[in-house]
Amino acid sequence: MARLITRIAPDVGWLPISFANIYFIGRPGGKWVLVDAGLPGRANEIVEASEARFGAGSMPEAIILTHGHMDHAGSALGLAEKWDVPIYAHRLEVPFVTGRSPYPPADPTVGGALAFLSRFFPTRRRDLGKRVRELQPGKVPSVTSWKWLATPGHSPGHISLFRTSDRVLLAGDAFATVNMDSWSSLIVGRQRLSRPPTPFTINWDATHSSIKELAALRPNVIGCGHGVPISDTDLPERLEKFAETFRAPKRGRYVRRPARTDENGIVDLPPAPFDPIPFATAASVMCIGIALGAGYLDEKRQR
């Protein structure tokens, strides 16, 4: 049976694909778009869920990527080909989703649960080919009540989507609603405004500025790329406080000096840190990654 999309605001649906979220903007019978495309190999699951919501054979107008990391763009090409639709990304993200450049490497030494697991994440370049289109300034294609904002820091061309009328924010990995640095929070999935996925974040000053900008929007509903979406009444104040007290990790490859990139990809990287964890030790906890990948978190949430 198809997994069901959960409504988090009018015409906004949420579907967790293992530990990464995707969102659907639009209503049955009308135009809709997919925001992010989940982990690789999940296209069928996404199609089934979208048909359960929008009707058999229903297709979106476009796929919009908040950024091109593997857990957000993994199934994008398969879906775009099946639906014959374009994939939109920010100009500065394009080199990383068209095979022109790899992303700056993850930093497994930055500390925390996800940093540990990041050693097992695939690092190959992603090429979504000719399907990729640059987002044009201002409006989100096909859903004109939404706008997009550049929210760099986690990745160079990261964007967030915002609906002004009722202040709904889809923030991708600009930040998260689960603390992925903590093993227990990661496994239980407890809601909490948190740093973006730490080992993959390449510019912490820009990350902080982006969070401040998003807090100034005073969103009532927040759906991020990771964690259960939040819609509490005190959310604008909580996000403001989070932005005020936000701190980068104490140490890490990109903490004092960011990775520099441009429209062709990587320009300059801080030196690679020494990684003291022997690979064999790390492999012994690989099963945790597998449990996450197998959808363990989804099972828990549905109970």
Binding site for Zn ion (CB under 5 A): 69, 71, 173, 225
CB of 51 to Zn ion, least distance (A): 25
CB of 125 to Zn ion, least distance (A): 15
Give whichever of 21 and 98 is closer to Zn ion, judged by the CB atom. 21
Among 208, 209, 106, 226, residue whose Cα is nearest residue 172: 226
Question: DSSP of the chain, one letter per residue?
Answer: -PPPPEEEETTEEEEEETTEEEEEEE-TTS-EEEE---STT-HHHHHHHHHHHH-TT---SEEE-S---HHHHTTHHHHHHHHT--EEE-TTTHHHHBTSSPPPPP-TTS-SHHHHHGGGS-----B-GGGEEEPPSSBPTT-TTEEEEE--SSSTT-EEEEETTTTEEEEETSSBSS-TTSHHHHHHT----B-S-GGG---HHHHHHHHHHHHTT--SEEEESSS--B--TTHHHHHHHHHHH----SS-TTTSS--EEETTEEEE-PPPPP--S-HHHHHHTHHHHHHHHTTHHHHHHH-
CB of 68 to Zn ion, least distance (A): 8
Give whichever of 176 and 215 is closer to Zn ion, judged by the CB atom. 176
* Cβ–Cβ < 8 Å for 132, 97: yes
Give whichever of 131 and 195 is closer to Zn ion, judged by the CB atom. 195
CB of 300 to Zn ion, least distance (A): 19
Give whichever of 142 and 170 is closer to Zn ion, judged by the CB atom. 170
CB of 166 to Zn ion, least distance (A): 25
Give whichever of 142 and 223 is closer to Zn ion, judged by the CB atom. 223
Give whichever of 107 and 173 is closer to Zn ion, judged by the CB atom. 173
CB of 258 to Zn ion, least distance (A): 15
CB of 1 to Zn ion, least distance (A): 27
Give whichever of 59 and 70 is closer to Zn ion, judged by the CB atom. 70
